Amino acid sequence: MPRVMIIEDEEDLIYLMRTMFEKHGFETLHALNGKSAYDKLSAIDNEDEIPDLLFLDIMMPEMDGYTFYFKLQENDKLKKIPIIILTAKRQMRDVFEFLPNVCAFIEKPFDPQALIKIANNAIAKNTFI
């Protein structure tokens, strides 16, 4: 069963995404900001429990997606997790477009079915932008 982590500060969106992914056979984890996500991920001892894919919002309190991304890259255990950027800020694409492990950039609002397809492709192919 593929495992995804949703890092997003909008609880309604987390609920929608968790429901959608779980309906399609995914295991889901979530965090309301980058700090909470990093703490949860770095506490994982068993590499088999590391998510197959991260959905990362950019604009969040406490630790934004940009800071989270670079902190993740400092951790050998976590730096290779594929990431899909979720944001309402189109101009952020230029910031993330050429970074390692970023496999897609999705603008909010998004088509839920397209998101499932993109997630499946990212996990299966481990492809990046």
Contacts of residue 33, Cβ cutoff 8 Å, sequence gap at least 6: 7, 9, 60, 61, 62, 63
> What average pLDDT score do residues 55-83 get?
94
Q: Where along the chain do its domains lie?
A: 3-122
The C-alpha angle with vertex 90 and arms to 125 and 35, in degrees rounded to 5, equals 70
30-43 residue pLDDT tens: 999 999 999 999 99
- Give the model's pLDDT for residue 103: 85
Choose among 50, 18, 11: nearest CA to 115: 18
Is CATH 3.30.365.10 the right assignment for the domain spanning 3-122?
no
pLDDT at 128: 45
pTM recorded for the entire structure = 0.90
Judge contact between 44 and 90, C-beta under 8 A.
Answer: no
Mean pLDDT of all residues belonging to the chain:
89
| Residues 123, 45: Cα–Cα separation, whole Å | 21
Determine the pLDDT at residue 96: 60
The residues that bridge with 9 in the sheet, in sequence order, are none
Bridge-partner residues for 28, per DSSP? 4
pLDDT value of position 129:
41
Structural tokens at position 70: 């670079």
- At residue 112 the predicted structure's pLDDT band, cuts being 50, 70 and 90, is confident
Q: Is the pLDDT of residue 92 over 50?
A: yes
Average pLDDT, integer, range 63-76: 94
